[in-house]
Amino acid sequence: MRRGPVLPFVLVLIGGIIGIISAGTFFIEKSIIAQAINNAVLSSGHYAPKAISFALSFLTGLFAWFIVAGVILIVSSFMIYSGEVQTVRTGGILAILFGIFSLMNGMFIPLILGIIGGALAISWSKDQREQEELLALSQELENKKEEP
């Protein structure tokens, strides 16, 4: 099984999970607020102004897109972990783009994790993977020498 860079994978995965949780929380909150405002206005015998209804619907839809952005961050983390250089780089680019998109949600953690993980993924090469494997192998050999 091929293995890609672990640190970028973990950073982008955590960023995606945090992005989904925060966007989902805001999505539920805005939906409840929109429904409460609509019910309050309708119970008073008036119709809700279209601008308020549109704004709340727009915000609810926007937070739904932030959930999609979080899912794409998670998918890009698995692309990073694939181990193929082109797929790792594509996952890194997606992580950076959707990390920046998550900034519109007001969440800095997915932004920071997406940019750092994406940059690390873009700079990763197969030579680094081979060096990591050789280092792990040499450490295993040293551990076996030390054992009686």
Each residue's pLDDT tens digit, 17-71: 998 998 888 878 877 877 777 777 666 666 666 666 677 777 777 788 888 889 9
Question: Does 117 score more than 90 pLDDT?
Answer: yes
Check: CB of residue 77 under 8 Å from CB of residue 116. no
Q: What is the pTM of this model?
A: 0.74
- CA neighbor of 105 nearest in space, from 37, 35, 32, 15: 15
End-to-end CA distance of the chain: 32
Check: CB of residue 42 under 8 Å from CB of residue 48. yes
Check: CB of residue 22 under 8 Å from CB of residue 111. no
SS3 of 2, please?
coil
Q: Which long-range contacts (CB under 8 A, 24 or more apart) does 106-111 make?
A: 107/18, 107/19, 107/22, 107/23, 109/15, 109/18, 110/15, 110/16, 110/18, 110/19, 110/22, 110/70, 110/73, 111/15
pLDDT of residue 74: 95
